[in-house]
Amino acid sequence: MGTMRFAICNEMFQGWDLGSVFRLVAEVGYDAVELAPYTLAPSIFDLPVERRREIARSASACGLQIAGLHWLLVGPSGLHISHPDPEVRARTVTYLTELVNACADLGGKILVFGSPKQRDVLPGLGHAEASRLALETFSACARAAEIAGVTFCLEALPLEYTNFMTTTAEVVGLVRAIGSPNLRMVLDVKSMCSELAPPGELIQMAAPYLAHFHANDANLRGPGFGTTDFVPIFQALREVGYTGYISVEVFDYSLDPAVVARESLRYIRESAGDRGQAQPRHHRPV
């Protein structure tokens, strides 16, 4: 895949300290770790700049980059991108801006906005008004990202999780409307599998705005731990010239994270090559 790099999200390593995560991930062969802020501190304001830089040094000592941050608004509570109360939106912008700054302090380059509950169209608001308010919030995030030198990415999530930004097309529309080089989008395999169009078509649609990519199976486990075929997905990524991170993001934590990390990377590397069909394998919990 040329300059494509491989990363993995840290939240599946439940109970592990960051140093142990970094050592295992580096040993397996990843290039980077993608961090969930809630695993670092209850609030990003509780993570001082020196601690952020210490984390970056710890990763670098293992030969790893920090890809960036995701699951941005898991905590603290009371934040929402399109809340009708302007004070709530202002607090949300303040928090997201500090996450942007933290990403830069950590040496990261991307932030992934998923956070389904903090983006829902609230009762009585209406989709059009929610979109208008969300555009204001994301425009502020784009300005902060431009200053910090990072990229803020929007993510489509299936309807079962949220009622806003549920398709690739909707996210493309928002990214176009904001028009900032530092406001892009991420594609997620699990989410793409919930859309009507095949992943290859969605990759083509998103290509001009695509800055990050999450790899997982439709069953919420790692790539290769189900039936989702990654060979055509990587073919489509090659066709559009994608060279960013392929970041493994797992939602089912029932398997040994070391096994998931190792086998996911093996499978996506195989799928990204030209050695024919990479067969997903059905793993039993270990």
For residue 123, give the CATH number of its domain. 3.20.20.150
Residue 160 CB-density burial (10 A; 0-12 exposed, 13-18 middle, 19+ buried): exposed
- 211 three-class SS: strand
Residue 260 lies in a domain: yes
Q: How far is CA 223 from the centre of its chain?
A: 15
Split at pLDDT 50, 70, 90, the class of 283 is very low
User: Above 60 in pLDDT, residue 1?
Assistant: no
Residue 49 lies in a domain: yes
Question: What type of residue sits at position 226?
Answer: G
User: Above 60 in pLDDT, residue 277?
Assistant: no
The reported pLDDT for the residue numbered 2 is 53
User: Above 70 in pLDDT, residue 190?
Assistant: yes
User: Above 80 in pLDDT, residue 275?
Assistant: no
Both tokens of residue 266?
Answer: 């093996």
What's the mean pLDDT in 98-108? 98
Residue 76 lies in a domain: yes
Q: What is the pLDDT of residues 217-264, one digit of tens each?
A: 999 999 999 999 999 999 999 999 999 999 999 999 999 999 999 999
The reported pLDDT for the residue numbered 75 is 84
Mean pLDDT, the chain, integer? 94
User: Above 60 in pLDDT, residue 40?
Assistant: yes
Q: Which domain holds residue 186?
A: 5-272
Question: Running DSSP on this structure, what letter comes out for residue 149?
Answer: T
Residue 75 lies in a domain: yes
The reported pLDDT for the residue numbered 4 is 77
What's the mean pLDDT in 4-14? 95
Q: Tell me how many domains the chain contains.
A: 1
Q: What is the pLDDT of residues 90-102, one digit of tens each?
A: 999 999 999 999 9
Residue 281 lies in a domain: no
Distance between CA 47 and CA 40 in Å, rounded?
7
User: Could you give the percent of the chain with pLDDT greater than 90?
Assistant: 93
- List the one residue out of 52, 95, 102 whose CA is nearest residue 73: 95
The reported pLDDT for the residue numbered 285 is 37
Quick check: 6 and 33 in contact, CB under 8 A? no
The reported pLDDT for the residue numbered 273 is 86
Residue 277 lies in a domain: no
Residue for token digits 């040094």? Answer: 57
Residue 71 lies in a domain: yes
Question: Running DSSP on this structure, what letter comes out for residue 1?
Answer: -
Higher pLDDT, 92 or 277: 92
Question: What type of residue sits at position 176?
Answer: R
Residue 279 lies in a domain: no
Q: How far is CA 175 from the centre of its chain?
A: 16
The reported pLDDT for the residue numbered 286 is 32
